[in-house]
Every structure is written in C-alpha cells, then in structure tokens.
Amino acid sequence: MYKFDKCGVCGGSNDTCVVKKGTKTQGEPQKWSTIIQLPRGTTGVQLRNKNRMAKMTLSVNGKPIINEDPSMPSPSQTYSNDGVTFNYRKGETGEDEVIDVVGALGEDVEAQVFTFFADQRFQPDVSYEYNVPVSDVRTYEWRTTNTDCNVQCGGGNYLVEILCQRISDNEAVEDKFCNIFHKPDSLGAPCNPQPCEPEWQASEWGACSKNCGSGSQTRQVNCVQKANGGFTVVAENQCPGDKKPADNRVCNVLACDAHWETSSWSSCSMTCGRGVQSRQVKCVSGQSDVSETNCKETKPETTQACVVTVCDTNIAVSDCKDLSSDCGGYGLTLCSEYGDWAKTNCKLTCSFCSASTSVVASVCEDKSKDCTSYGTSVCTGEFADWASENCAKFCGKCTSAVESTTSSASTCVDKSTDCAGYGQTVCTGEYAQWASENCAALCGLCSSKEAQTPDASCVDVSPDCSGYGASICQGEYADWAKSNCAKHCGLCTSSAASQPTAQSCTDVSSDCAAYGASICGGDYADWAKANCANYCHLCNTVSDASAAASTCADKIADCVDYGQNVCTNEYAAWAKENCQKMCGFC
C-alpha cells in the first residue's frame, strides 16, 4: 500500500523536495510579525512555539485563520479554510504551541506570530521547517551573521548582517537574486540583558501658566532604570543629584499691557456730614504690580468726598450756610480734621445741615429700620422714590408742611461744592433726584418767580464774564460790570419788586461781609439781590421788561439740558438764535 512521502508524492522516496528550516525569536509589541512566507504547493509545514506568552497563526490574503484575537486563543483542533488544512495545538501548561499542515498548501500562506509586550519574557521562540520542491530550489540564499548588540545594557538584540549569496561558491550577490519574502529579520538573538545604571528621564514641558508677563511651566522628571527592554521608576537617590534636569522654568517673559486696577471705596470717614473715602489704585501688568509709569491712561482718583447723611436735620434752611467764603478751597479733610471750626464756619459745605429741605423733627422718621444698612446708594437713582417714603430722615428728604423741597430764590445754593465740576450732565437722567437736593442752583431748580423768570433784557455784552469770576462784579470794576457783565453779576433790573431802589437799598442779611464778594455773582446772584443788595452794589432804578418777556421763547426744547454754559463763549451766537429765553437774550 502506497503512502505520501514528505514531498507529498504518493509512493515517493522523499527525493523530489528539499527541507528548509529556520527560527523566529523577535517580535513587535501588540503586532503580528511574519515568521515565513510559504508559497502555494509547499509541503511538510510545521511550526513550533515554545513560549506560550506569544501566539501563532496562518494567514491567507492578510486574514488570520486562527487566533484572530490573540488574547482569546482558538481551541486545539483541525482547521480547513481557504485551501489550507492543518492541525492546531494551542499549547497548554508544559506544552508547545504547534501548527502542523496536512498535505500541500492550496494557497500562498503567511505564517505569523503575535507579541503582547516588549519584555523579553514575552518574545516568541518559534522554530519551523517546510519542504520545497527540487524544481523551486534556488541557486541563491540569504546568509546572516550576528554583529554588535544594539544596546550596552537593559536587554537588546544583536544586529544581523544579511547578505544574498550564491550557494555554489558562497559569493555575495545583489539582493534581487534572493527571495525577498524570505529575507531574515535585521535583529538577531537577545543580548546584554543586565540592567543599566539608573538615569534621569524627563517628559515634555507642560503648557505655560500665563500668556504674557512671565509665566511658568513644569515637566515630570523621574529616576529610571532600563531592564528587559523597558524602563522602571526607582528611588531618586539612585540617580546623580547634580545632574537632575530642571522640572520648571520661566516662559512667556514679554510684559503684558499695563492698566490701572482700583479697589472698592472705603467707608466714609464721617458717619454724618462731609467726609473722605479712599481706595487703592495700582498699575498692573498681567498679575504683577509694576511702576506707574507703565500705565498710559490717567490715574484714577484715590480719594473723594462722601456724605452718608447730614448731621443735624433740625437746623432751619435759613441758618444752613457757610460763614467763610473759602470753605470749598480747604480740601477734602476740612470737615473731619477741623470739625469744630467747620461746624460754625462751613456747615453747609460740610453737610452738617441741609439747605434744600426744612425738617420738622417731630414728624420726620424712617419707616424702614434697615436704612443705615442699605447705605447712601439707596437715596438716589432707581431707589430714590422708595427712599423718600421709607428712609426720609436717613436720606435728608423730610419736608415741613409750609416749605417746599425745592430751594427758594433767597436760599438757592448748591449743597455740594463740586457741582461746577460735575457740569450740567448731573442735572438730568439718573442723577436728577440727587441734583435737585445738592446742585439746585447749578441746575436752575430754584422755585421762586425771580429764579424761574429771568429778566428778558438781561444779557452779558462781554463773552468772557464767566472767566472773570465774581470779583469783577464789585469794587473798582463794578461800573464796568454793570454795562458788560450785567447778567453774570446779577445786575439786571426787571421790576420794582425784584430790584431794590437806591432809596431803599439795604442788606437784609447781617453776614454779607463775611460771605465775601463771591456771593455777589454766579450761582448766588439771585440770593444776593434779595439779601446783600447794598454790599454787592446791586441797587438800581426800576425798569419793566414784561413786554419783552411776553414774546421771548426758545426755538428748541433742549435748552435747559444744555445749561447756562451754552449762552457764552463759542456757542453764544447759536444760543441767541435757539435758546434766547433761557439765556436771557430777549
């Protein structure tokens, strides 16, 4: 009875083929590596893997027949797919993994091995053999020679010198004469497995903490030791301390654009009356304080005046006035540092009393018990109406039955000394309520007939009257002022009732001299007419301008919003045409 010989010939004598053998001891982590390319018709194929930590397969057209998922090995049995029949033993404890092909290959087959990890313990240990028909035996073959190890320590492989040589005389020839699919790996057997000396290993630098203005960045630095082809972290004292790489450094050192930063205002230095509050102002670049010369914008104020509430709401409006004409020039600390003197001489400026309301103490109370905790911000803006009813005493908004909260002409003065600095913009909008209390004269909110109906014939001939100030209205310039700055100085005449005659010209107030010349013009002119006519040289003959006043009107509705500043200087010509009534140009 005939049998197949090793060459696959029935009744053959094993002389029609040649046996080829080889090994595979190196793989790539988490990849399939080629063991050998086997052409169609190859017989006697047998592969044996002695390391169970690696897995083999046979692939046709790039698709594994077994062990497609190496972590879940296929069972030991006979497989027949794609023209290939073979017996497989997956390699239990103490056994090798074996692939044994039955008969000749019906297709080109690639024998492969999968390596799980780089550690030497997981490297394959494969030996193989197969038969090639004598007609396919080549005249050339690959020759390998181990050279140097690719590492000095820690586990590596010998570098393999690979040559194609002619078998007949062992002469080296070009690679094209050898089967490229059978070319051996360039890495040979393992070498230098001893552990390396510990060394420092640094990661990549992390992101910079700032985009500008000197930030910092860090990285991980570990002491590691290479062994078995991998690195293990060890104690830092095993590495040379003087050679440890830096784990932090400065980055993005270019300066950021500098700007001013302000803190919140402090509490007012006075619980009543005019005090001072302060805040910190610093020039900042990035997150660092820098020299103020680096900030291009104007530095914000560090101090400002503040009034929590008036001190004595029982002082009558007529008695709330400054005896000194220089109160506004003493500075912010006048009211707190010189309190006793200021209470007598600057009680209006320091808000020790209120000139805009007349308080009846017996009926003036706060309905809410929380007014103090709300603070003065509740007295103006969107909460002003609510505060008038619920925090009237705290906000200084109490009124008697006989006196109006709008200042009369005889007492129409600005409670705040800063009104001129605020300008007409404070008279309307969100600050209107506050302005009616503190800047009545500036905003033209006085209620007397004289204040509401200016003399229609009263104009300033000179456009520079405001620039001269109140001092021009008396003394050696008084006669000149009557002709050229009559309106500015309050020297206009409208009726017998509004202008004292020469025969009856006396000072109603006994304090005119104490007030000084500044009371005679500007914002206090109307009050001076009634109370200091003789001192301010405001006596004159009676004139009647009612006829002119009856035809006097403003062409536009916004004149009051523009304010008196529009009546002079570069806007005077425009104002004569559009705001003649407000400016007194009729």
Q: According to the 3-state scheme, what is the secondary structure of 11-37?
A: CCCCCCEEEEEEEECCCCECEEEEEEE
Same domain, residue pair 430 and 457: no
Residues 403 and 278 in one domain: yes
Q: Supply the pLDDT for residue 16.
A: 74
Asked, for residue 237, whether it belongs to a domain, the answer is yes
Residues in the chain: 586
CB atoms under 10 Å from CB of 201, counted, come to 16
Q: How far apart are CA 319 and CA 300, in angstroms?
A: 37
Boundary of a domain, candidates 96, 116, 137: 137
Q: Looking at the structure, do residues 304 and 363 belong to the same domain, yes or no?
A: yes
- Label residue 577 by pLDDT band (50, 70, 90): confident
Where residue 120 sits, what CATH number does that domain have?
2.60.120.830
The answer to whether the predicted template modeling score (pTM) of the entire model surpasses 0.75 is no
**In contact, 354 and 443? CB cutoff 8 Å:** no
Clarify whether residues 394 and 520 are in a common domain. no
506 and 394 within one domain: no
Asked which of 410, 438, 466 is the last residue of a domain, the reply is 438
Separation between Cα atoms, residue 300 and residue 288, nearest integer Å? 19
On whether residue 541 sits in a domain, the answer given is: yes
What single DSSP character describes residue 4?
A: B
Q: What is the pLDDT of residue 404?
A: 38
* Domain of 72, in residue numbers: 17-137
407 with 515, same domain: the answer is no
User: Among candidates 441, 442, 406, which has minimal Cα distance to 421?
Assistant: 442
Residue type, 452: Q
Q: Is residue 185 part of a domain?
A: no
Check whether residue 472 and residue 422 sit in a common domain: no
Give the span between the Cα atoms of 98 and 56, in whole angstroms. Answer: 8
Per-residue burial over 438-474, b if 16 or more Cβ lie within 10 Å, else e, is bbbbbbbbbebebbebbbbbbbbebbebbebebebbb
Environment class of 207 (CB within 10 Å of its CB; exposed 0-12, middle 13-18, buried 19+)? exposed
411 in the same domain as 284: yes
* Domain count across the chain: 4
**In the listed set 438, 466, 496, which residue is the last one of a domain according to the structure?**
438
In a domain, 444, yes or no: no
Verify that 396 and 319 share a domain, yes or no: yes
φ, ψ (nearest 5 deg) of residue 523 = -70, -25
Find the helix or strand (DSSP H, E) in which 131 lies. strand 126-133
* Greater model confidence, 271 or 460: 271
State both tokens at 506. Answer: 């006396």
In a domain, 101, yes or no: yes
Quick check: helix, strand or coil at residue 327? helix
Q: Is 282 inside a domain boundary? A: yes
Residue 545's pLDDT is 36
* Tens-place pLDDT, residues 277-318: 999 999 988 778 888 988 888 999 999 888 777 787 777 777
Q: What is the reported pLDDT for 130? A: 93
- The pLDDT score that the predictor gives to residue 359 is 37
> Which of 361-365, 368-372, 561-565 is most confident?
368-372
451-498 pLDDT, tens digit per residue, is 344 455 677 777 667 656 555 666 566 777 777 777 767 666 543 333
Residue 151 lies in a domain: no
Same domain, 32 and 129: yes
* Structural contact between residues 83 and 63, judged by C-beta atoms closer than 8 angstroms: no
Answer whether residue 504 shows pLDDT above 60: no
| 457 and 499 within one domain | yes
Do 100 and 45 sit in the same domain of this protein? yes
Distance (Å, rounded) from C-alpha 21 to C-alpha 175? Answer: 20
Query: pLDDT at residue 510 above 70?
Result: no
Within-domain flag for 269: no
